[in-house]
């Protein structure tokens, strides 16, 4: 099947935006098992790879500092030579902060499942049965185009941040001097780079569907996505923003409750209990962040957080696939089959 979708101007069967949320939950419920069978191989690879990375780091850098937080899950950093040589190392313990929780949803390897998930949604949308093996087989044929589109997006979206890195390193800071009000130029440039990145991420958010459903090349899929988003960029951005906020709230709730359980069963995490059982807990859902830094982290805690992050991403990946695929079908004019739903 060269083209899974055929263009059709009749869009009367596509769910209206006010029915979008119930539709997402309905589709998730109806195809839950098939979604997870598709994601299972990637979940296993992600678990093994991330566990191996953290275990290797713990064995190779025993003096590393480990952070467990309500936004990023678990992280580690190696102390610099100057820090390790100081008689009093960097203080550890609980830290609270406020800021945009941009790291709460890092889909990682599960981004690879967007193609087969989209195929499932479209096949079932048309009343056709399909297996996880069949959708992966169709996806593998288009792996080159998917990878090419990913590289092009990274170059365009990440380019401004690379320039920002050079500015902050002092190589070309003279190009954008500080403003008369004293507002730092790197921060101003970061805001501009962020706006550019968001613009193109929304503009090209349907490129995967173009590749997997219409057999387009990487460049053609980016152009197709731009055409479909044109005139509706603001609406797409609004839906993506709401879903992003929802994923942040979900991730924060799961990680906070997990860390609270850690504080009950392990003395290393006991300082977190006072914070997570206080009024600050509710502030975590409005931009607050809490993390604890440990000089030596238990291996079991690292493993639990790595597995939890992977499972959270697996829970959220089909939601993004359903939303973007239905938006693609709506804009492309793909009618819904009678009696489905």
Residues 127-156 pLDDT 10s: 888 899 999 998 988 888 888 888 888 888
Longest Cα–Cα distance in the chain: 73
Q: Is the confidence at residue 44, as pLDDT, over 90? A: yes
Instruction: Specify the 3-state DSSP secondary structure of 67.
Output: strand
| Beta carbons within 8 Å of 268's beta carbon, 6+ residues apart | 262, 294, 297, 298, 301
**Residue the block writes with tokens 């055929």:** 6
pLDDT of residue 305: 92
* pLDDT, average across residues 75-88: 58
pLDDT of residue 16: 52
Q: Is the confidence at residue 15, as pLDDT, over 80? A: no
As a whole-number percent, the residues of the chain with pLDDT over 90 amount to 27
Q: Who wins on pLDDT, 209 or 176? A: 209
216 token code pair:
């387009």
Q: Are 285 and 22 in contact (CB under 8 A)?
A: no
| Predicted confidence band of residue 10 (pLDDT cuts 50, 70, 90) | very low
Q: Are 65 and 294 in contact (CB under 8 A)?
A: yes
- Give the number of other CB atoms < 10 A from CB of residue 185: 17
pLDDT of residue 304: 92
The conformational region for residue 73 under phi > 0 = left, psi -120 to 50 = alpha, else beta, is left
| Predicted confidence band of residue 275 (pLDDT cuts 50, 70, 90) | confident
Q: At what angle do helices 299-332 and 218-229 cross, to 10 degrees?
A: 70
- Give, in order, the Cα–Cα distances in Å from 66 to each of 51, 62, 78, 181, 257: 15, 10, 9, 38, 19
What ranges make up the beta strands (E) of the chain? 65-69, 73-77, 93-98, 288-294
97 strand-pairing partners: 289
313 token code pair:
């991403």
Which residue, 110, 115, 153, 143, is CA-closest to 4?
A: 115
For the entire predicted model, the pTM comes to: 0.80
Kindly report which listed range (1-15, 84-98, 114-128, 162-176) carries the lowest average pLDDT score.
1-15
Q: Who wins on pLDDT, 118 or 112? A: 118
Kindly report which listed range (5-14, 66-75, 106-115, 138-147) carries the lowest average pLDDT score.
5-14
């Amino acid at each position: 099947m060269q083209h899974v979708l055929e263009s059709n101007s009749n869009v009367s069967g596509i769910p209206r935006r006010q029915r979008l949320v119930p539709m997402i939950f309905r589709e998730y419920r109806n195809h839950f098992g098939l979604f997870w069978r598709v994601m299972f191989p990637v979940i296993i690879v992600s678990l093994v790879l991330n566990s191996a990375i953290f275990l290797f780091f713990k064995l190779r850098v025993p003096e590393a500092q480990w952070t467990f937080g309500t936004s990023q899950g678990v992280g580690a950093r190696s102390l610099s030579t100057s820090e390790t040589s100081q008689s009093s190392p960097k203080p550890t313990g609980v830290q609270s902060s406020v800021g945009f929780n941009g790291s709460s949803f890092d889909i990682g390897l599960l981004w690879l499942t967007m193609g087969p998930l989209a195929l499932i949604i479209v096949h079932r949308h048309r009343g056709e049965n399909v297996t996880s093996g069949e959708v992966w087989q169709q996806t593998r044929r288009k792996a080159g185009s998917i990878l090419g589109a990913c590289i092009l997006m990274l170059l365009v979206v990440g380019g401004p941040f690379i320039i920002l890195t050079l500015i902050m390193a002092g190589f070309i800071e003279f190009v954008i001097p500080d403003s008369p009000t004293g507002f730092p130029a790197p921060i101003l440039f970061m805001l501009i780079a962020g706006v550019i990145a968001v613009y193109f991420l929304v503009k090209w958010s349907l490129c995967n569907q173009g590749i997997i459903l219409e057999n387009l090349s990487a460049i053609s899929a980016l152009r197709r996505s731009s055409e479909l988003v044109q005139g509706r960029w603001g609406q797409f951005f609004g839906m993506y923003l709401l879903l992003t906020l929802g994923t942040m709230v979900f991730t924060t709730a799961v990680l906070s409750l997990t860390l609270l359980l850690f504080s009950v069963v392990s003395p290393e995490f006991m300082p977190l209990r006072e914070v997570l059982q206080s009024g600050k807990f509710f502030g975590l859902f409005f931009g607050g962040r809490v993390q604890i830094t440990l000089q030596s982290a238990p291996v079991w805690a690292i493993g639990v957080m790595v597995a939890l992050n992977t499972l959270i991403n697996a829970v959220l990946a089909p939601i993004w696939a359903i939303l973007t695929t239905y938006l693609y079908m709506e804009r492309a004019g793909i009618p819904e089959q009678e009696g489905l739903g």
